[in-house]
Amino acid sequence: MDPATPLGLRQTTPADVPFDSEDVDRSGRFGPAELRRNELEIAYTTSEYIDTLLTYSGHRALPPAAREGLLACIAGLINSRYNGRIRKRNAFDLRVARTL
């Protein structure tokens, strides 16, 4: 865990993320925006999840020793507590507005 992460931090659920169309509304070029939100849960093996984490810029920017240590801890956790498989929920938002 990143030492700067507050203890007990929990991710916001997609339903709790507000829909903000202020920029679109303020432009005056579009009608009312609507939100289309989709959720998808993806299953990963340990190696697949580590590969996915290596695509995140925050992980890539870590010094090599810190990155390797973090990924080793995550892999150990997935293998020991979750039998080498985890599921990650993803939310995808699409904001749609028609031009005036």
CA nearest 15: which of 96, 88, 98, 89?
89
User: Can you give the residue ranges of every domain in the chain?
Assistant: 41-100
Mean pLDDT for the chain overall: 90
DSSP string, 17-66: SPP--HHHHHHSSB---EEEEEEEEEEEEHHHHHHHHTTSHHHHTS-HHH
Assessment of whether the complete model's pTM goes beyond 0.85: no
pLDDT tens across 26-60, in order?
A: 888 999 888 888 999 999 999 999 999 999 999 99
Q: Quote the DSSP letter at residue 14.
A: G
